Amino acid sequence: MRSGLGSPCKILLFSVWGLALLVWSIVPSVGPEGADVPLRVALQLGSADRAAGERALAAAEQLLLTPPVEVELVAFGPGVELLGRESVQARMAALAAQGVRFRACELSLQAQDLQSLPPQAQQIPSGFKRLADLDRQGYTLVVP
């Protein structure tokens, strides 16, 4: 009785199967009409920590380097404070001009008594609900 993988046919079969998996993993997704299917990413920002805000904005910038991509940054809790900081306004405007969407939880804004948002940020009723909706729409949720 033979031990190991067996015949050269089995080895060839496993090699072809492995190669097919490798090719499948690196070839971009293609829709039914042949159009590229965008990578859809929801960035979650729940912290007012400056480093967390920097990581979220840097992640959005990096994602834009790999089109096609759809990016939405959802801020809630203490994270909504980031969207109102003067120090990030130019960066947010540049990202928004490239299609990144910014959302701020209305409940969090009210709880923190924050009144103004930059024009590129849209208020939403609930940050958690928005993230759940994006997940159902096929977005990958990322906490940078």
Residue of 71, 72, 73, 78 lying closest to 46 (CA atoms)? 78
Q: Is residue 68 part of a domain?
A: yes
Q: What residues make up the domain containing 65?
A: 37-142
Please compute the mean of the pLDDT values over residues 43-51 and round it to a whole number. Answer: 95
Give the number of domains in the chain.
1
Specify if 128 maps to a domain: yes
pLDDT for position 21: 37
Mean pLDDT across the chain: 83
CATH number at 97 reads 3.40.1260.10
Q: What is the pLDDT of residue 95?
A: 98
